[in-house]
Amino acid sequence: MKIINVDEMKPGMILAEKIISPKGQVLADEGTAITAQQLLHISYYGIKELKIQDEKDAIEKYQFDAPDEFIGETQSWRILNSEEFKEFKRAYEKCSDRLEGIISDFVEKQGALDDTELIQEIHSVFEKHSTGLGIMAMMLNIQEIDRSTFRHSVNVAIISRVCGGWLGITDEKELDVLTMCGLYHDIGKSLVPHSILTKPGPLNAEEFGRMAEHPLLGYNLLSDLPIDRRIKLAALQHHERNDGSGYPYGLTKDFINPFSKIVAITDVYDAMTADRVYRAGICPFEVIAQFQRVEPSKYDQNVLHVFLQNIAQSYIGTGVLLSDNSRGIITMVKKNALASPLIKLDDGSFVDLQERTDLYIRACI
């Protein structure tokens, strides 16, 4: 057991004792993994330090997936069984398979990136699902399909294009460039050993070093191509951070391209919400809370604010599982408390998670 400053706490750390509010309310139980939503709540009470278990005792406890026993007509069930989703899924899988073929051919033959058909497929997805909110509802459920680098790249491309619309970008050519920034941001991973990409657990120092090469590898693959420079920069800069804490060069905000700043956020969002071989995907509201707790200087705050606000709004009407295993539907999201919406429970009563700091959203269902 050790005592740690709350500012240094990370989601997933295991508590060594209960967290009690000044009013005597239990905010979190001993032996549980702390969540970003709980850490946001704790900050309201001015709690400065917490006791946590040693790291070796915390392994494999950070899980936020919904229990298997959920059955019945949840919103996810309705979406998954709708004709609209089936059509979306077909277009999505076609895009992913096409991207895999394009990148494989390019890396093996060093030919042109013939992505005209791919961009048209993505256009068709947006034409049939005209609002960003509708597309994000589909994306929430598409997460169950596949976790490959190519699926992730299509996810980042779609989410980046949606984010561009939320930011007020209306020029279709600009949105196409932003979409391609997402499509090719991870192209350098095609040169990273497959065993590292699919390792079921944290990477060691040597493996992380190989993985951290992928932005530069991707930039080098794209550098001589006659494509928009911002696509090349997104491959190079999507792990850079405004405060200089990113890689490969530790660039600060004035040296990071605006489209790279968008892809940096959408890349992290998709990576955190998607399932991995070593953990289940994290609930979107847990991701929102984690973004809100991150040092504000890491990401472009204008982009992040618009993105998180719209993401939270996109889940209004979505079924959720709360930390006490009660179920409900998100009915309202407040701008000043995006990770703590108003929930209508199955029994018809309402719970405001901004006030009920002992509760948090465990999963969307």
Q: Give catalytic residues, as residue numbers.
A: 189
Tell me which amino acid residue 15 is: L
CB 66 within 8 A of CB 74: no
* 111-171-115 Cα angle (round to 5): 20
Q: Are 24 and 68 in contact (CB under 8 A)?
A: no
- The DSSP bridge partners found for residue 5 are 49
Strands (E) located in the chain: 2-5, 19-20, 26-28, 49-52, 319-322, 327-334, 337-345, 350-352, 361-364
Residue 304 token pair = 């992040």
Kindly state the helix (H) or strand (E) to which residue 352 belongs, with its residue range: strand 350-352
Would the CA dihedral through 251, 253, 257, 258 be positive or negative?
positive
Strand partners, 51: 3
Interior angle at CA 117, CA 116 and CA 123, nearest 5: 95
Q: How does strand 361-364 pair with strand 350-352?
A: unpaired
Q: How far apart are the first and last CA of the chain?
A: 35
